[in-house]
Amino acid sequence: MSTPPPVKSPADVPLALAEPVTRVGPRWIGLISLANLALWMGYFGPLQVLLPQQMEAVAPAGKETALAWVTGIGAAVAMVSNPLAGALSDRTAGRYGRRHPWTLLGALAGGLGLVLLAVQGTVAGVVIGWCLAQAGLNAMQAALTAGVPDHVPVRQRGAVSGWIGIPQTLGVVLAVVLVTTVVTTTGAGFLMIGALVPLCALPFVLATPDPPLPAGHRPPFSAGGFLRGFWISPRAHPDFAWAWLTRFLMQLGNAVTLLYLLYFLTDAVHYEREFPGAKAEDGLLVLILIYTVAVILTTVAAGAISDRLGRRRTLVTLSGAISAVPAVMLALWPQWTVVMVAAAVMGVGFGVYLSVDNALITQVLPAAAGRAKDLGVINIANSGPQVLAPVIAGPIVASLGGYPVLYLTAGALTLLGAGLVWKIRSVP
């Protein structure tokens, strides 16, 4: 087994539930980052390129509406599967640990869903395949996300969250490169990503420790009690509630910004007219590369700074203010040069947010015994905006002001979320 070293805990607390105190090493960080790279390739390859391409082929006259249905229903599945898989992993008592079985099963199911998408030719078939992919990928995400509070001490969580956050943006780049340059068809893109997801997750599962939960520490099961566990009272845990709302609004602003980005390049920026012979997907790849470089340059440094200063809320607010700027730029100046600058600014803002907010959230979880379930509830704030974003964005683009109103709305949502982080009292 590899790093991290055994966690020190009182004799009456099993290792699986103990608060970690020993810093994790580079090997553990590298392997969980690789697994996260697989996860985000599975999400963003389809969302950024493959699903829009597929909808344009399947329903060219109503591609925006069709894409909204597919992504919205898939996100609704994610809202259920993430906390459910997390709750089940919290209760898993077996020799292979609580998290690793769900990481592997989720990766296999997610890969299968992506492979199924490769052969779909109807909107209904795409919905079914994407829902299976979302269910599997979210089960995988629930287990991986819980790995940070399971293994990483509080004073290292900002930096580790930064390193783990890099694959989130790098996964977008790799996925887009793979599905636009390495393969030439939408179906081949789905097949490639579907194979890579479990292959990249396997080393983390096989080569890192996952302390098992003793059967005696698993709470007794009742259907009512299990379902009630998903409700976390804002009165009893107000900081958790405010952290959830902050994440929801920030991610909603991000989702509204990104949902129609490929179509924005085609219909507002007129990328293919500006660059004859090029495709809008080429422009999207350029933006993603710029964004990724900016994220990589900021996320680990911001996490380390927040660890050193201990002031997570200030940096979350700063990230929100920075992230609102590119929304205004896209709304007022839909020119290619401006869009590239906006991508860089957005990368800086999200890079700061990615590491610091993840670390902040691990500090407001209600209980160690329910870490994955509680983080699954937090992840509803990631997937819920994917459901709501089409409801907001579709009518705006169609008849309520178009892309300028869309991006100003996104900026306002981001600023509101960044301001609400100051309602949290237990974290500086």
**Rounded mean pLDDT, 121-143:** 95
Average predicted confidence (pLDDT) for the chain: 89
What is d(CA 72, CA 126) in angstroms, rounded to the nearest whole number? 12
Q: What angle do the packed helices 280-309 and 312-332 form, to 10 degrees?
A: 160
What is d(CA 222, CA 47) in angstroms, rounded to the nearest whole number? 37
SS (HEC) of 301-362: HHHHHHHHHCCHHHHHHHHHHHHHHHHHHHHHCCCHHHHHHHHHHHHHHHHHHHHHHHHHHH
What percent of the chain is modeled with pLDDT above 90? 57
What is d(CA 118, CA 116) in angstroms, rounded to the nearest whole number? 5
Nearest 10 degrees: CA dihedral of 31, 37, 42, 43?
130
- Could you count the other beta carbons within 10 Å of the beta carbon of residue 290? 19
**Rounded mean pLDDT, 171-198:** 90
Question: Which of 23-27, 251-255, 313-317, 325-329 has the lowest average pLDDT?
Answer: 251-255
Q: What is the tens place of the pLDDT at every residue in 261-296?
A: 888 999 999 999 889 988 888 898 899 889 889 988
Q: So what's the pLDDT on residue 12? A: 67
**Rounded mean pLDDT, 67-71:** 88
Q: So what's the pLDDT on residue 371? A: 87
Q: Is residue 2 over pLDDT 70?
A: no
**Rounded mean pLDDT, 201-214:** 94
Question: Which of 2-11, 121-130, 188-197, 299-308 has the lowest average pLDDT?
Answer: 2-11
Q: So what's the pLDDT on residue 9? A: 46
For residue 327, what are its two tokens? 């929304």
Nearest 10 degrees: CA dihedral of 77, 82, 83, 85?
110
For residue 154, what are its two tokens? 């509080």
Q: What angle do the packed helices 100-117 and 26-45 form, to 10 degrees?
A: 30
What is d(CA 306, CA 159) in angstroms, rounded to the nearest whole number? 8
Query: Could you tell me the CA-to-CA distances from 15 to 216, 357, 367 in Å, in that order?
Result: 13, 26, 15
The H or E element that residue 64 is part of is: helix 63-91
What is d(CA 334, CA 345) in angstroms, rounded to the nearest whole number? 15
- The CA radius of gyration of the chain, in Å to the nearest whole number, is 21
SS (HEC) of 1-24: CCCCCCCCCCCCCCHHHCCCCCCC
Q: So what's the pLDDT on residue 172? A: 79
Cα 25 versus chain centre, distance: 24
Which is nearest to 29 in space by CA: 196, 158, 183, 194?
158
Q: What is the tens place of the pLDDT at every residue in 351-364?
A: 899 889 989 999 99
Q: So what's the pLDDT on residue 221? A: 66
Query: Could you tell me the CA-to-CA distances from 128 to 84, 134, 192, 353 in Å, in that order?
Result: 19, 10, 19, 33
Q: Is residue 88 over pLDDT 60?
A: yes
Query: Could you tell me the CA-to-CA distances from 177 to 35, 41, 190 in Å, in that order?
Result: 19, 11, 13
Q: What is the tens place of the pLDDT at every residue in 298-338?
A: 999 999 999 998 889 999 999 999 999 999 999 999 999 99
Q: Is residue 382 over pLDDT 90?
A: no
Q: Are the C-beta atoms of residues 328 and 403 closer than 8 Å to each other?
A: no
Bigger pLDDT: 242 or 220? 242
Q: What is the 8-class DSSP label of residue 46?
A: I
Q: Are the C-beta atoms of residues 375 and 248 closer than 8 Å to each other?
A: no
Q: So what's the pLDDT on residue 220? A: 66
Q: So what's the pLDDT on residue 165? A: 85
Q: Are the C-beta atoms of residues 343 and 209 closer than 8 Å to each other?
A: no
Q: So what's the pLDDT on residue 25? A: 95
Supply the DSSP string of 149-209, one letter for each residue: HHHS-GGGHHHHHHHHHHHHHHHHHHHHHIIIII--SHHHHHHHHHHHHHHHHHHHHHHS-
Q: Is residue 8 over pLDDT 50?
A: no
